[in-house]
Structure 1
Amino acid sequence: MAGPSRRGFLAGLLAAGMAPQASWADLGHPAYLSAGKSPDGSFLLAGLDRTGAILFRHALPARGHAATAHPTRPEAVAFARRPGQFADVIDCRTGAALARLTPPPGHHFYGHGVFSPDGRSLFTTENAFESGDGRIGIWDASDGYRRIGDHASGGIGPHDIKLRTSPDGQHNLVVANGGIQTHPDSGRAKLNLATMQPNLSYLSLEGTLQDQLILNADMRLNSIRHLAISATGTVGFAMQWQGDAGADLPIIGLHNPGSAPRLMAEDDPRLRNLNGYGGSVAFSCDGTQIAVTSPRGGVVQIADCTTGALLRELRLTDVCGLASDADGFVVTTGQGLLAQLSTSQADRPSHIRARTDLAWDNHLIPIA
């Protein structure tokens, strides 16, 4: 008698609740996610391998900003640019939509989100725009991404959010509360510059405020926007200056809970080249260097995490997306480039990995 077919075997496993769960390995281990714009003006989220080859595309209804990858399943969530009203859950094997998340009435998304370590929960940065309060939305990723609640972000204008693991193995959320109040009726207008106060908030997964960094008064208009976490739990943060143009102020800093921040390249005149704008931030794989991009300045700057000194600068038109790999840093541009940047040479890209006809958006999200 012939043995059971593979289809019949898998059907039996499924009926018994034992079917193998899809993983990122089924997709060939993609390296990055990035939102982008096609030549015809349509928007998408793409999955890229390390060479810059596109593995999948998912059409977005409007401009995207950032994304987050599920820790085990080949799923990603693409977030609208603020003030956003959609977040698409994507099957990265096919690019198909699994769900479209909509914030509750009176809220909008701020462009970022992150999964819990076990992948059961998704946390999203949101604005409760009538009160102006920052909120962290909570979605049950094990039950069709059902909305199950929200809690305070620790400030106004939460933008980026990351999962941090402390040296003792504890997990918490780090939130970049940019301090800028907005309202959809006013578009992207900044409504509270006279009183804005950014902060960096550390929250338990349940929402308890554990620690908070508030910058000095002379940095009050330096909106904390984007985050990176080193392997040892150090938080890197990138800021965007909301004051008068031309200020030579630090745009990247380092922080550990319970300690004072360390601002990078404080006295270096090349800070002016960033044009007051940190677009993306990333640590080198060994944690010894931190890089920041500025599409407004058309530069990438790399600083030494020990001394704070600015080590090198690369000029690259419309550069913003940034991630690290074993060879240094990887950047994307609005001109369709994905380029390798060595940690030891930065006067030019050491290797252009790929050129496309897509305009890559703000962030290059690594898939762990």
Structure 2
Amino acid sequence: MQRRAFLATLAAAAATPRLSWADAGSPAYLAAARLPDGSYALHGLTVAGESLFGLPMPARGHAATAHPERPLAVAFARRPGTFALVIDCARGIETARLTPPEGRQFNGHGTFSADGAVLYTSEVIAEGSEGRIGLWDSDTWQRIGEMPTHGIGPHDIRRLPMSDDLLVANGGIRTDPTDRTKLNTDTMRPNLARIAPDGTLVAKAELPEGLRQNSTRHLALLPDGRAACAMQWEGDSAETPPLLALWQAGALAACPVPETEAVTMQNYAGSIAHSPETGEIALTSPRGGAVQVFAADGSFRASFRRADACGIAAGPGGFVVTDGNGAVLALTGSGLRPLASHTLNWDNHLIALERT
């Protein structure tokens, strides 16, 4: 009888469909926001900018990452962060809360391994800002290890296509662990590091000496194996260096823009995205209230003005943009077009869900 019951249980389990992103309404994007009452939430958005769900967060969020198959999102606190929430987007519940080990801080970003078994988190050792990648089992959410980022102050982290190698934007900035005061802008050396699953450094790319105060912050992967990097200038404010760089074969090259366009961005790129449909790359600047669009080779194409625009991701015909006033907009060759408006304040990033 016990054997028959066991086999019946197995059969029932096999017959029960596994929850997928369709059970969460098949959101196209994830975005953190501040609500009118001062609380925070993670939203799942459609391509048209409508909210499918808004799940509470204990404090301000930054970015999120989605499991490649299961309807799970991990939302990260704004750096220096002390929490990452694992959210079941189909059931609308928090299923786990990750806390970095003693002396570590989350740095706002993370990504999954190709099979979804491991979550990688961008972290720093609080004292000194030396970079670490935390490894977490995605079934138990237990920490299973860590490895170096081969740099200071890592921020964005992406898994390279068709591999489990990671590309990490080491921003180069050493910060005070309590108030984020920048401590080494005169000597900083940011880099992009390609790291194997065992923590081995595969390649490290730096900008030329004259641009070493350009902090490498956010990444967008291109289908040909390259990556685009958004930067934030920490040098003399009178200078207007490029804020976009392209990474290829372990080398990093800055992409200049006309001087008038460079001034508009106020030396700050908040987010970046690549559009597979158009092949273009776009940068946002909430400080400058602008979105810049580049060709795939890094040549400047156009600039569009939008107050407090920051979140950006690929969308139909180009990109989808969010701003700090609750708007969701389409960006195509003809310019920005409103899609939806919400009574909230979108945070820095709009995360496209890339599901298998």
TM-score, normalised by the number of residues in structure 2: 0.94
Matched, 1:156 2:147: no
Amino acid at match of 1:27: A
1:178 to 171, 194, 199: 171
Matched, 1:314 2:304: yes
Q: Which residue of 2 aligns with 1:225?
A: 217
- Which residues of 2 match residues 120-131 of structure 1 at below 5 A? 120-131=117-128
Q: Show CA shifts across 1:30-57 (max 9, x none).
A: 1000000001111111111111111111
Separation in structure 1 between the aligned mates of residue 11 and residue 107 of structure 2, nearest angstrom: 38
Shift in Å, 1:14:
7.0
User: What SS does structure 2 have at the residue aligned with 1:354?
Assistant: strand
Identity over aligned residues, as a percent? 48
Q: Is the 8 A contact 1:231 1:287 kept in 2?
A: no
Separation in structure 1 between the aligned mates of residue 57 and residue 198 of structure 2, nearest angstrom: 31
Q: Show CA shifts across 1:59-96 (max 9, x none).
A: 11110000000000000000000010000000101321
Separation in structure 2 between the aligned mates of residue 174 and residue 199 of structure 1, nearest angstrom: 10
User: What SS does structure 2 have at the residue aligned with 1:363?
Assistant: strand
Q: Show CA shifts across 1:257-292 (max 9, x none).
A: 24x433223454311111001101111214631100
- Which residues of 2 match residues 97-176 of structure 1 at below 5 A? 97-142=94-139, 144-165=140-161, 169-176=162-169
Shift in Å, 1:184:
2.1
User: What SS does structure 1 have at the residue aligned with 2:264?
Assistant: helix
Shift in Å, 1:107:
0.3
1:285 to 276, 288, 300: 276
Q: Which residue of 2 aligns with 1:201?
A: 193
Amino acid at match of 1:362: N
Q: Show CA shifts across 1:111-150 (max 9, x none).
A: 00000010000000101122431000000002x2111111
- Consecutive unaligned residues of structure 1, counting only runs of 5 or more, are 1-10
Separation in structure 1 between the aligned mates of residue 124 and residue 176 of structure 2, nearest angstrom: 8
User: What SS does structure 2 have at the residue aligned with 1:25?
Assistant: helix
Amino acid at match of 2:225: G
1:332 to 307, 311, 322: 322
- Which residues of 2 match residues 242-253 of structure 1 at below 5 A? 242-253=234-245
User: What SS does structure 1 have at the residue aligned with 2:79?
Assistant: coil
Q: Which residue of 1 aligns with 2:34?
A: 37
Count of residue pairs the alignment pairs up: 348
TM-score, normalised by the number of residues in structure 1: 0.91
- Consecutive unaligned residues of structure 2, counting only runs of 5 or more, are 1-7
Q: Which residue of 2 aligns with 1:64?
A: 61
Q: Is the 8 A contact 2:271 2:283 kept in 1?
A: yes
Separation in structure 2 between the aligned mates of residue 81 and residue 73 of structure 1, nearest angstrom: 24
